[in-house]
């Protein structure tokens, strides 16, 4: 429970969770959407993964991350975050990046 709250106590990580509400995304999509450096994004993804909030799947060069099922409490937290967090700017950048076929 403490690890869960720790994982959620960072703005970047909440933004990642909100982005993943859309479905699986690769690291470069997330990096483009958040406008952050790739090592930074990888760092935060690793913390979310450790806490059991997200999972990854390798496919060729890419690693796709998505929200993991988790228990009822965890899912409730994720739903609440997604409901309350605005992320229009991130979404827009994600769309732009995908149109540009950057990865």
- Give the number of other Cβ atoms within 10 Å of residue 17's Cβ: 21
55 binds DNA (CB under 7 A): no
Say how far apart CA 68 and CA 51 lie, in whole Å: 10
Q: Which 35-54 positions form the footprint of DNA (CB under 7 A)?
A: 36-40, 42-47
Say how far apart CA 68 and CA 11 lie, in whole Å: 19
Of residues 57 and 72, the one with the C-beta less far from DNA: 57
92 binds a copy of itself (CB under 8 A): no
Of residues 14 and 30, the one with the C-beta less far from a copy of itself: 14
């Amino acid at each position: 429970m403490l690890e869960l709250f720790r994982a959620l106590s960072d703005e970047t990580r909440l933004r990642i969770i909100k982005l993943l509400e859309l479905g699986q995304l690769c690291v470069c999509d997330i990096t483009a959407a958040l406008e952050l450096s790739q090592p930074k994004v990888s760092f935060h993804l690793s913390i979310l993964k450790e806490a059991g909030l997200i999972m990854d799947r390798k496919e060729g060069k890419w690693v796709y991350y998505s929200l993991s099922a988790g228990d009822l409490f965890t899912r409730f937290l994720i739903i609440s975050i997604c409901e309350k967090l605005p992320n229009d700017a991130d979404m827009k950048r994600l769309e732009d990046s995908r149109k540009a076929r950057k990865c």
